[in-house]
Amino acid sequence: MEIGFVGLGAMGVLMVERLMAAGHTVTGWNRTKEKATTLIQSGMRWADSPRAVAEESEIVFSIVTDSKAVEAVALGEQGILAGLKKGGVYIDMSTISPPVSKAIAAKFAEAGRFMLDAPISGSPVTVTQGNASVMVGGDKDAYERVRDVLLAIGPKVSYIGASGLAVHMKIAVNLLLMIEVIAFGEAVALAEKGGVERAVALDAILKSVAASPVLGYRGPFILEGKMPDVPLADVTLQQKDMLLALDLARTLGSPIPLGAAANEMMNACRGLGIDHRDFVTAHLVYLTLGGQLK
């Protein structure tokens, strides 16, 4: 298939690689062209705008930072809607506000095009391993048309429901993930405070019933020298999703007290100046509060 891809950050690059490996022709665009150099050398075609990407494609993906960025690449003068052919499908994989996603989808529907919200659950690690999952919201027939393409990105593809529901579900999943990782830091700090060596505590948790895939690849980051120079998801990026969850909870009247507490720990990361690191670094906040770090 002729596929377009807008947004070639850490996740976008890996997804384009998987799409090309599956035999699809990909035309891409990114705000910073330098990030696409390796992909271009591997055969990805370059376009000078999201609109130009869409003009060359049957399906266009995007994965960008936030709601404003999606609105810009989807609806701007040089955006995807301006170039996508009638009946074409736009698939946004970003984690953004569900009401904003639904509003953008309505614009595409008015123009005779389709937009699916299809956020990906995973990290660069899980995408590379082929273990990421994709949740999809929007027109069911459009979903059926693109399902096989989505399976090239990750083996677990689930149709959630109407427009906006997939990104809503992704925010709920990320809420759980953030609470889990923050609680992990709390547990390890408690163990350390009582005299258990950090590596021993980590090993015990990963062998226990509390173990999970995200702790399996992220937990070791708390060991000396293991924190990656390029985080899988830094505190700022993860807190963006937490704030989306808190806003949804406020709007819906659905209590998320554990989410609010986890958000405060991310605030504390910012206060300590460690918010540029992967958000498992919240473990250091607990050590600081417990007097183990000065």
Residue 11: closest CA among 90, 128, 175: 128
**207 assigned to active site:** no
Sign of CA dihedral 127, 263, 244, 165: positive
**Residue in 33, 107, 140, 170 annotated catalytic:** 170
Q: Residues, the chain, total? A: 294
Q: How many CA atoms lie within 13 A of 261 on its CB side?
A: 12
Q: Which residues of 243-280 are buried (b: 16+ CB within 10 A; e: fewer)?
A: ebbbebbeeeeeebeebeebbebbebbeeeebbebbbb
Amino acid found at 113:
R
Place of tokens 């809420």: 175
User: Which helix (H) or strand (E) is 60 found in, with range?
Assistant: strand 59-62
Query: Would you name the residues annotated as active-site residues?
Result: 170
